[in-house]
């Protein structure tokens, strides 16, 4: 497994999240266009449809004039503009990092560890027994929302202490945090000493619970207990939203206004799909939990 040395500025996480957001916006507009545009489909036809749809929404929402601009202008600008800005920012951060001698990546191989630097002549390989200590530091920050504040892992530092008193630090912002931690624990079993700690805003109970379970039973938790409770409420909430929109727009499905009910279907189907996704994750978590029940006791 290769772990790249990336900070929050050089991480792909923001780019990936904004790319997903941009794809969702693109799919939504494409679906609406192909289901409501009457003329031949083309780039020129799309922009004509876009202008007509914007004018149509403005005329139908005189009491709330911000809604048409939010849907048709602000959200696309945030999606595509944010994606371009994040790609450019990451590109300059990578260039700045490559201009100095830094640890570029670490390869955890079957029987050895390879340290890769920006300048290949400094690369070296050592065995797992040559690593005196591997320390995993989970840096946390306080995340604030309308429901309160809580600590979350922002990035992970791996501090290596190898023979001849060499010390190296690698930073990573993993997209799949728990899978990343599980793999580090697996590889750490072959080194002389391994430890982990939280640093910053405090420990994250869900992550600590998953680490304890994996160490004691080998169970790779999908959801911690608090997350499981949150997912249950989220599933109920999104299902309720879907039913609310279905009840609100039920009369529109009897009309011939294809444009209106095409837009009305987006929140109904979207919230329902999200609710089902949460249900599937909860079922997978329960199945995984039952598989390891009784181990480590």
The pLDDT tens digits of the residues spanning 62-118 come to 777 788 888 888 889 999 999 999 899 878 877 776 666 578 889 999 889 999 998
Distance CA 132, CA 7 (A): 25
Gap between the terminal Cα atoms of the chain: 31
The domains of the chain are located at 1-99, 102-203, 219-297
Distance CA 11, CA 282 (A): 29
> What single-letter DSSP state applies at residue 71?
I
| CA 286 to the chain's CA centroid | 22
| Cβ atoms 160, 131 nearer than 8 A | yes
| Cβ atoms 205, 153 nearer than 8 A | no
Distance (Å) of CA 130 to CA 109, 117, 133: 14, 19, 9
| Cβ atoms 170, 103 nearer than 8 A | yes
| Cβ atoms 35, 262 nearer than 8 A | yes
* Tokens 């405090």 found at: 202
CA-based nearest residue to 127, from 179, 185, 187, 182: 187
The pLDDT assigned to 100 comes to 61
Distance (Å) of CA 251 to CA 241, 247, 255, 256: 17, 8, 7, 11
The pLDDT assigned to 151 comes to 79
| Cβ atoms 210, 181 nearer than 8 A | yes
The pLDDT assigned to 172 comes to 87
The pLDDT assigned to 137 comes to 93
Q: How many residues does the chain have?
A: 297
The pLDDT assigned to 94 comes to 73
- Its pTM stands at 0.57
> What single-letter DSSP state applies at residue 70?
I
Fold classified for 102-203: PH-domain like (2.30.29)
Burial class (CB in 10 A: 0-12, 13-18, 19+), 65: exposed
Q: Which residues of the chain have pLDDT under 70?
A: 8, 37-39, 97-101, 145-147, 219, 221-228, 249-265, 285-297
Name 292's Cβ contacts closer than 8 Å, sequence gap at least 6: 213, 217, 218, 219
Q: For 115-150, how does the pLDDT look when each residue is reduced to its tens digit (9 = 90+)?
A: 999 888 889 999 999 999 999 999 988 877 666 777
| CA 204 to the chain's CA centroid | 17
């Amino acid at each position: 497994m290769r772990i790249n040395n990336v900070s929050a500025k050089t991480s792909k996480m923001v780019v990936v999240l904004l790319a997903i957001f941009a794809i969702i916006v693109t799919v939504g507009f494409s679906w609406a266009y192909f289901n409501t545009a009457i003329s031949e489909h083309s780039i020129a036809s799309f922009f004509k449809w876009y202008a007509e749809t914007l004018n149509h929404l403005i005329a139908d929402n005189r009491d709330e004039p911000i809604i048409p601009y939010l849907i048709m202008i602000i959200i696309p600008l945030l999606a595509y503009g944010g994606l371009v800005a994040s790609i450019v920012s990451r590109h300059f951060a990578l260039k700045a990092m490559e201009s100095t001698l830094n640890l570029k990546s670490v390869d955890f191989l079957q029987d050895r560890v390879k340290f890769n630097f920006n300048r290949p002549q400094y690369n070296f390989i050592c065995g797992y027994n040559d690593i005196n200590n591997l320390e995993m530091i989970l840096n946390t920050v306080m995340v604030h929302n309308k429901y309160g504040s809580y600590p979350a892992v922002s990035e992970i530092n791996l501090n290596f202490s190898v023979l001849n008193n060499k010390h190296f630090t690698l930073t990573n912002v993993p997209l799949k945090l728990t899978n990343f931690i599980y793999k580090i624990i697996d590889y750490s079993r072959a080194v002389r000493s391994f430890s982990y700690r939280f640093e910053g805003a405090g420990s994250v109970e869900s992550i600590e619970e998953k680490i304890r379970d994996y160490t004691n039973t080998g169970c790779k938790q999908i959801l911690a207990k608090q997350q499981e409770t949150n997912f249950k409420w989220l599933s109920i909430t999104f299902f309720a939203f879907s039913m609310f929109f279905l009840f609100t727009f039920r009369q529109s499905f009897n009309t011939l206004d294809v444009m209106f009910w095409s837009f009305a279907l987006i929140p109904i189907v979207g919230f329902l799909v999200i609710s089902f996704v949460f249900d599937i994750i909860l079922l997978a978590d329960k199945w995984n939990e039952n598989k390891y029940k009784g181990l480590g006791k």
